[in-house]
Amino acid sequence: MRAVVCREWGGPESLSFEQVADPKLLAPGQVRIAVSAAGINFADTLMIQGKYQVRPEFPFSPGLEAAGTVIEAAPDVDTVAPGDRVMALLDHGGYAEQAVARASDVFRIPDGMEFETAAGFPIVYGTSHIALWERACLRPGETLVVHGAAGGVGLTAVEVGKAMGATVIATASSAEKLEVAASRGADHLINYKTEDIRTRVKELTGGAGADVIYDPVGGDTFDASLRCIAWGGRILIIGFAEGRIPQIPANILLVKNIATIGVHWGAYRQNQPHTVAESFATLFRWFEEGRIQPHISNRIPLADYAKAMKLLIERRSTGKVVLTMDAQDQD
Ligand X SMILES: NC(=O)c1ccc[n+]([C@@H]2O[C@H](COP(=O)([O-])OP(=O)(O)OC[C@H]3O[C@@H](n4cnc5c(N)ncnc54)[C@H](OP(=O)(O)O)[C@@H]3O)[C@@H](O)[C@H]2O)c1
Q: Write out the residues near ligand X by the rule CB under 6 A.
A: 41-43, 123, 127, 148, 150-154, 172-173, 177, 216-217, 238-243, 263-266, 312, 315, 317
CB of 272 to ligand X, least distance (A): 13
CA 324/CA 284 separation, integer angstroms: 22
DSSP code per residue over 129-174: HIIIIIIS---TT-EEEETTTTSHHHHHHHHHHHHTT-EEEEEESS
CB of 76 to ligand X, least distance (A): 29
Query: Residue 21: what are its φ and ψ, rounded to 5°?
Result: -70, 145
CB of 116 to ligand X, least distance (A): 16
CB of 195 to ligand X, least distance (A): 13
Of 150 and 226, the one with the shorter C-beta distance to ligand X is 150
Measured from the Cβ of residue 24, the count of other Cβ atoms closer than 10 Å reads 9
CB of 117 to ligand X, least distance (A): 16
Of 85 and 154, the one with the shorter C-beta distance to ligand X is 154
CA 202/CA 235 separation, integer angstroms: 16
CB of 131 to ligand X, least distance (A): 8
CB of 324 to ligand X, least distance (A): 18
CA 234/CA 81 separation, integer angstroms: 42
CA 16/CA 32 separation, integer angstroms: 23
Please name which of 5, 26, 2, 29 lies closest in space to residue 16, comparing C-alpha atoms: 5
Of 10 and 82, the one with the shorter C-beta distance to ligand X is 10
Of 42 and 107, the one with the shorter C-beta distance to ligand X is 42
Is the link from the previous residue into 301 a cis peptide, with omega within 30 of 0?
A: no
CA 126/CA 64 separation, integer angstroms: 13
Of 198 and 315, the one with the shorter C-beta distance to ligand X is 315
**Angle, CA 283 vertex, CA 280 and CA 286 arms, to 5°:** 155
Of 64 and 163, the one with the shorter C-beta distance to ligand X is 64
Angle subtended by helix axes 219-228 and 197-204, to nearest 10: 30
CA 21/CA 7 separation, integer angstroms: 16
Identify whether the C-beta of residue 146 lies closer than 8 Å to the C-beta of residue 157: yes
Of 219 and 301, the one with the shorter C-beta distance to ligand X is 219
